[in-house]
Amino acid sequence: MPMETPQRWDRRMQQRLARGEAAALGELYDRFASLVHGTALRVLEDERAADLVTREVFGYAWENPDAYDPREDGSLRAWIARLARRQSVHRLRENGARALEEGGAGSAEELEQRVRRAAVAARADYIVTAMPAPLRRALESAYFQRRDYRQTAAHLGVTEAEARRRLRLGLQLLSTAHTGPLDGSPPGSGGSPL
């Protein structure tokens, strides 16, 4: 049986979720739970809160499969990552505001700074997750294995010019992490975090 293309898998998964196939939710969870939980944990720095965000994201995907639009959202992986980022930032802001109301340490300004830092980090994670695989592999080679562009080219089996191009494009995409929206709500959601 030939492998499905990612776009075809995304489309079939959305159709299966829309039909209410519980096995589809399990498959979606198996594929993306570590991505969602990891994003939530990086933002919230709390295992229980990350577990809650993970349940909320997959609950939302189960209840609203038609909210995913591949033309606007890109891959299903990118959509799930965006939901995780938004819900995590929303939950961080909500938890911080509650702590301030209960007399916790800090100020509203400090909370917003913390939310901003977490949102930028989560957006950077999302950008890396959503970028094309060749760019992601080039950045991973340069960053995690500390390779220069020549070593990256050899590792990836591409020309040095192509390695430089991939690294430049990947870094340009990452540089936009500071310009993304901080609020945890998608457009038109009426303030709902997902």
- Average pLDDT, 10 consecutive residues per value, the chain (194 residues): 73 94 95 93 92 96 94 89 92 85 78 83 79 89 90 95 94 78 42 52
Q: Supply the DSSP string of the chain, one letter for each residue.
A: -PPPPHHHHHHHHHHHHHTT-HHHHHHHHHHHHHHHHHHHHHHH--HHHHHHHHHHHHHHHHH-GGG--HHHH-SHHHHHHHHHHHHHHHHHHHHHHHHHHTT-SS-HHHHHHHHHHHHHHHHHHHHHHHS-HHHHHHHHHHHHS---HHHHHHHHTS-HHHHHHHHHHHHHHHHGGGGS--SS--TTSTT---
- Predicted local confidence at residue 176, as pLDDT: 81
Question: Measured at the alpha carbon of residue 137, what is the angle toward residues 131 and 142, in degrees to the nearest 5?
Answer: 115
- Closest by CA position to 138, among listed 152, 151, 127: 152
- Predicted local confidence at residue 66, as pLDDT: 94
- Predicted local confidence at residue 180, as pLDDT: 55
